[in-house]
Chains A and B, each alone.
Chain A
């Protein structure tokens, strides 16, 4: 599953990033790398998504979010 599949308020662990080097570099610059815990905060219909990672709030476009593969912790 990807970040996009999470529900608002749900926590997960980043598994991998299915994207080119460029997207990978941009994501890692915001701390979005494998083995990091994230929480989906908001996912408005017409907008981007907001996540919490390492005590920071980051917004990312849905296209980019769909490249971040995550796993929920109870799995």
Chain B
């Protein structure tokens, strides 16, 4: 790489200021973003070309305080320290909060551009920020953007080039005399320590003595001097130096905000306030949450069933023509089963996935997931996790893979493991396809809800029990409550389309391949042999047809395959021909729990290592077998 010709740009800012959207718009990529804190966990880098210059942009959302010897987000800090230019994204509707963070960047003395994002919402609220004055005070170029609408992007790129060719450092912003004296004292002491960071920044960090820093590498003498200064200061003010510095920044940020900000009273849209009031209400809040989630599945069920039935008709019509013109030979059967697997995708999967993701993304974009975190925090603590765990768990309803990766927002190891464990128990959209396609279609919505309720109970019990067994630190929930925002239709449709596209690209070849393999096995009479290996469990204990053995093996690849392969084996999607109602429920329970799919397993391995992944797999297989067998027995006694 040619270092001299590329510009390293780091995007930082407080949670929920729109960093990810800005990053996406700048790099026109489609990394997933959402309206809640800590969304982008992995620092993402992308390079773009602008006017013959290569600009490498890094999104560093984990950096919420700027630390000198960080004990968290080390890699992100390194990228930040090595960057040429910092883009400090600020939520224009609440610049005071953003400026508290900006002050730390100013201490760092890196060329910084202040990006006043969400300028459109600020305008709606009658908030006006005097850019010129803010530029004068901070010494940083200031720009207004609306990342969601791609406004201000070219200008921002121009500003980056301009700042790079004409480097300008932020102005020093002085704190109160007391604190400044101490900073100077420390600065004098560390004069001979060679460091590529600004001495003022190092001094402030030493004085702040922030919990996020690991000062063990510091030499003894400096440590002693700093300690004395801190002791002296704390004795005089009665607060820790950490609080004193935080308070300095807070008051500076407020002072600057009061100078640059004017608010005109504009009539605000009432729906946000009303929604806000309702959804976090003591009683209504919980009711809305329950009905909202119920509605998510109810709506998916209704729409999915309707479309699925249309495809059913088309498929059987097509099948009769196929047999009429091509006869019923082995070759024609093989051909039909390949075709049937393809049709089955549209019959069974797509009708449910599309409405489901649209609603899930609307809830996410609206900012509702944060409300769920808020409403359930105390309850979740009983499961050994906290409110924030609800966010990956809700996302797990879509797909467990990104959901498990999102568990990185959990701060302690124990909470992360538990949240991941609970997330893998959440029925993903593939499981939903099986449940809706079997139980929903032939037994009705009531039984679907029963299965989801059963899943919820399993999650609660697993959480309560394992939180007692697993030792570790618990953390507390603290986050800014994002305001509701109007869901951005285009973003939602794009994200849904990505899900469907991904499904078609990855799952469809797999579906066709396994459909053909199964048909070949059937033609050569090997199908029974393979299925019989699992029959002690599938047939004897679970009371399922022996064929489900092979389905469950294929289901490890993708859980939809259980249903789709069954369809291609039968040559129809009328599953009531081979499965009784009890068997449908049993198969659904097995599908819900028996093993995380292969993609989830690899995500688990990446996040937890093999040992813990293996624990989860063993736990879930045993859970599925025991639970499904029990359910099957109970159902055959009460005869549904």
Interface residues of A (CB under 8 A from B): 16-17, 20-31, 33-36, 42, 44-48, 50, 54-64
Contacts and interface: CB of A to CB of B under 8 A. Distances in A.
Given A29-B65, A31-B250, A58-B480, A24 B374 contact: no
Contacts of B374: 42, 44, 47-48, 50, 59
A44 B280 contact: yes
B239 interface: yes
Nearest to A65: B476
17 contacts: A16-B239, A28-B246, A28-B247, A33-B250, A44-B282, A46-B286, A47-B375, A47-B378, A50-B374, A56-B94, A58-B481, A59-B477, A61-B387, A61-B477, A62-B378, A63-B381, A63-B476
Contacts of B477: 48, 59-61, 64
B376 to A, nearest CB: 6
B478 A55 contact: no
A45 B283 CA distance: 9
Contacts, number: 128
B376 A61 contact: no
B285 A61 contact: no
Contact of A34 (B96, B239, B377): B239
B240 interface: yes
B377 A62 contact: yes
B247 A33 contact: yes
Interface of B: 64-65, 94, 96-97, 100, 209-212, 239-240, 242-243, 246-247, 250, 254, 280-282, 285-286, 370, 373-379, 381, 386-387, 474, 476-481, 483
Given A25-B212, A58-B479, A58-B481, A47 B96 contact: no
B96 A29 contact: no
A23 B387 CA distance: 17
Contacts of A47: 285, 374-379, 387
B94 A61 contact: no
B64 A24 contact: no
A55 B212 CA distance: 26
B504 to A, nearest CB: 39
Contact of B478 (A33, A57, A61): A61
A26 B478 contact: yes
A31 to B, nearest CB: 6
B96 to A, nearest CB: 6
A34 B96 CA distance: 18
Contact of A29 (B246, B254, B376): B246
Given A34-B239, A58-B480, A64-B477, A48 B96 contact: no
Top 4 A-B residue pairs of the complex, sorted by shortest distance between their CB atoms: A28-B246, A64-B476, A48-B377, A61-B477
Nearest to B473: A22
B17 to A, nearest CB: 12
B478 A46 contact: no
A48 B378 contact: yes
A36 B94 CA distance: 17
A25 B239 CA distance: 13
B97 A23 contact: no
Contacts of A21: 209-211, 240, 242
Given A30-B480, A44-B282, A56 B97 contact: yes
Contacts of A60: 476-478
Nearest to B94: A56
A1 to B, nearest CB: 19
Nearest to B483: A57
B377 A61 contact: yes
Given A28-B246, A54-B254, A59 B376 contact: no
B503 to A, nearest CB: 35
Contact of A46 (B281, B370, B379, B479): B379
A42 B378 contact: no
A31 B375 CA distance: 22
Contact of B378 (A24, A26, A45, A54): A45
- Looking at A16, A26, A27, A46, the one whose CB has the most chain B CB atoms below 10 A away is A46
Nearest to A34: B239
Nearest to B382: A46
A23 B473 CA distance: 13
Contacts of A20: 211
Contact of B64 (A17, A29, A31, A54): A29
B94 to A, nearest CB: 6
Given A47-B376, A56-B97, 9 more contacts: A16-B239, A21-B242, A25-B65, A28-B246, A48-B378, A59-B373, A59-B374, A59-B387, A59-B478
